[in-house]
Amino acid sequence: MYEIKDIMLADSGHKKIEWVRRNMPLLRALEDEFIETKPFEGIKISLSIHMEAKTAYLCKVLVAGGAKLAATGSNVLSTQDDVAAALAEDGIEVFAVHGASPELYDKHIEMCLEHRPNIIIDDGGDLVGMVHTKRPDLAGEVWGGCEETTTGIIRLKAMENEGVLKFPMVAVNDADCKHLFDNRYGTGQSVWDSIMRNTNLIVASKTVVVAGYGWCSRGIAMRAAALGAKVIVTEINPVKAMEARMDGYDVMTMEKAAPLGDMFVTATGCMGTIRMEHMLKMKEGAILANAGHFNVEIDMDALEKECREKKEARANIMAYTLSNGITVNVIAEGRLVNIAAADGHPAEIMDLSFAVQAMSAMYIRDHHKELENKVIDVSEEIDDVIARRKLASWDIEIDTLTPEQEKYLSSWEV
Ligand SMILES: NC(=O)c1ccc[n+]([C@@H]2O[C@H](COP(=O)([O-])OP(=O)(O)OC[C@H]3O[C@@H](n4cnc5c(N)ncnc54)[C@H](O)[C@@H]3O)[C@@H](O)[C@H]2O)c1
């Protein structure tokens, strides 16, 4: 069963999946292992992650492990119809259409849950949210799940604190092998890939304002500087602000940065990071992009309501003329720019993140009976295994502690 745009697009999807497969050695090794051991035999998994080639390969790896899988995309603009078609052609249940309406998006989430999952793999919390709101009848059958991103974990922790979370959820994002690499180097590279390919403008010589100095923003700022931009960081956290300053960037409020920036990239996870009062102070032609999970960081509602004129400036770029006559350009409707208007993170990065996902799903399978209905950390062992396998794929060896060193590092007597 599937609901996609067009099954005839499958050939192009298969090519994209084969390309990433060649560049995802950890997932390839897990696939080989899963074909032998069938760790998910008979287990029902519902998955909602950006429906593009890397995610599709994760789906195929889980199915190779025996899972009965239903998949949807976590963002209608990141769904690639050819990739969804390839999965459907492979016999996987997939419900995802690029640019679907909010109603169709919700319907696809529901269809993905009709499957009555034992394990949920979520990105941003929409599947888990739907179980807790519209389909609480399913909660008893869910052993637990895994959450991919920072914003999803914030939502889950709020549910845990209110005592409403109905099953354990592994915080995949918080694994070292995830956020240190995916959020920083993955977002850092893919955000600039997207901005450059969509604007066809140079980054060198520009002033780039980066909102936030968390894991994603650090990567975005680092790569902007490497491309030759002057970088300004805005923050609300004094320690992160200090870190940005020590890393060599100017730090100031968004109000002060607004008239200085040529390009603005926000990755705070917080609504209203760039508001109308800031946009009214910007330079003519300023370019705005959001790299956070939801399209709430740039106040798009205010822009839509209060602009004098709106027109497409280029594919994926909308130009809004404000009440003061200034025009600002927003990429990808203020949705996460690297995925909605490009191909997302590099394959080698998602290799790490999805290895954490696959191994965390196995952890849920093995431990769900003893876990509380809380947000659970990824075990250190999983991080260790994945990092060692990644190093091995690069042919890198590292040192091992001698028994004397182990004793020295674990004792308090000199
Ligand atoms: N685009 C992608 O591919 C991608 C990848 C991973 C995560 N994400 C998403 O990006 C967002 C950020 O994730 P992260 O892991 O960097 O989170 P993080 O918690 O490490 O960093 C967020 C930072 O933003 C700061 N902040 C919060 N509100 C602010 C405001 N109003 N103004 C300025 N700074 C503010 C916080 O102090 C914090 O330092 C989340 O929504 C996450 O889900 C996107």
- For β-strands 119-122 and 44-48, DSSP reports them as parallel
Protein residue whose Cα sits closest to atom 33 of ligand 1 = 235
Measured CA distances, 56 to 7, 19, 49, 339 (Å)? 15, 12, 9, 15
Alpha-carbon span 203 to 208, nearest angstrom: 8
Residue 236 belongs to a domain: yes
Shared-domain flag, residues 93 and 7: yes
Protein residue whose Cα sits closest to atom 20 of ligand 1 = 214
Give yes or no for residue 235 CB within 6 A of ligand 1.
yes
Shared-domain flag, residues 129 and 208: no
For ligand 1, mutation pick of 213, 216, 350 (most atoms within 8 Å of CB): 216
> Tell me, what amino acid is at 393?
S
What is 39-94 written as a DSSP string? TTTT-EEEEES--SHHHHHHHHHHHHTT-EEEEE-SSTTT--HHHHHHHHHTT-EE
Shared-domain flag, residues 335 and 349: no
CA angle 134, 136, 140 (to 5 degrees): 155
| pLDDT at residue 414 in the model | 64
Instruction: Report which ligand 1 atom has the smallest distance to the Cα of 291.
Output: 1
What is the percentage of the chain residues whose pLDDT exceeds 90? 99
Res. 344 pLDDT band, cuts 50 70 90: very high
Shared-domain flag, residues 162 and 192: no
- For β-strands 93-95 and 119-122, DSSP reports them as unpaired
Shared-domain flag, residues 312 and 352: no
| pLDDT at residue 391 in the model | 96
Give yes or no for residue 262 CB within 6 A of ligand 1.
no
Res. 15 pLDDT band, cuts 50 70 90: very high
Shared-domain flag, residues 190 and 123: no
Mean of pLDDT values over 377-405: 96
**Domain end among 302, 324, 340:** 340
Shared-domain flag, residues 58 and 92: yes
Give yes or no for residue 236 CB within 6 A of ligand 1.
yes
Ligand 1 centre to CA of 138 (Å) is 31
Give yes or no for residue 151 CB within 6 A of ligand 1.
yes
Shared-domain flag, residues 67 and 136: yes
Per-residue pLDDT at 385 exceeds 90 = yes
pLDDT in tens, 245-277: 999 999 999 999 999 999 999 999 999 999 999
Instruction: Report which ligand 1 atom has the smallest distance to the Cα of 191.
Output: 1
Residue 386 belongs to a domain: yes
Mean of pLDDT values over 314-318: 97
Give yes or no for residue 49 CB within 6 A of ligand 1.
no
pLDDT in tens, 134-191: 999 999 999 999 999 999 999 999 999 999 999 999 999 999 999 999 999 999 999 9
Residue 401 belongs to a domain: no
Give yes or no for residue 215 CB within 6 A of ligand 1.
yes
Per-residue pLDDT at 91 exceeds 90 = yes
Give the CATH number, domain containing residue 17.
3.40.50.1480
Shared-domain flag, residues 200 and 294: yes
Mean of pLDDT values over 49-78: 96
Give the CATH number, domain containing residue 197.
3.40.50.720
For ligand 1, mutation pick of 266, 268, 297 (most atoms within 8 Å of CB): 268
Shared-domain flag, residues 54 and 106: yes
* Number of domains forming the structure of the chain: 2
Give yes or no for residue 79 CB within 6 A of ligand 1.
no
Shared-domain flag, residues 316 and 192: yes
**Direct distance between the N- and C-terminal alpha carbons of the chain, in angstroms, rounded to an integer:** 66
Residue 193 belongs to a domain: yes
Give yes or no for residue 212 CB within 6 A of ligand 1.
yes
Give yes or no for residue 289 CB within 6 A of ligand 1.
no
| pLDDT at residue 228 in the model | 98
Protein residue whose Cα sits closest to atom 32 of ligand 1 = 235
Protein residue whose Cα sits closest to atom 10 of ligand 1 = 292
Residue 404 belongs to a domain: no
| pLDDT at residue 139 in the model | 96
Instruction: Report which ligand 1 atom has the smallest distance to the Cα of 183.
Output: 6
Residue 110 belongs to a domain: yes
Alpha-carbon span 192 to 189, nearest angstrom: 6
Ligand 1 centre to CA of 295 (Å) is 13
Instruction: Report which ligand 1 atom has the smallest distance to the Cα of 213.
Output: 39
Ligand 1 centre to CA of 3 (Å) is 33
Residue 217 belongs to a domain: yes
Give yes or no for residue 368 CB within 6 A of ligand 1.
no
Shared-domain flag, residues 273 and 204: yes
CA angle 101, 103, 107 (to 5 degrees): 115
Measured CA distances, 125 to 109, 121, 293, 363 (Å)? 11, 9, 11, 19
Domain range enclosing 134: 2-178+345-393
Residue 204 belongs to a domain: yes
Give yes or no for residue 237 CB within 6 A of ligand 1.
yes
Mean of pLDDT values over 124-142: 96
| pLDDT at residue 413 in the model | 80
Give yes or no for residue 43 CB within 6 A of ligand 1.
no
Mean of pLDDT values over 44-72: 97
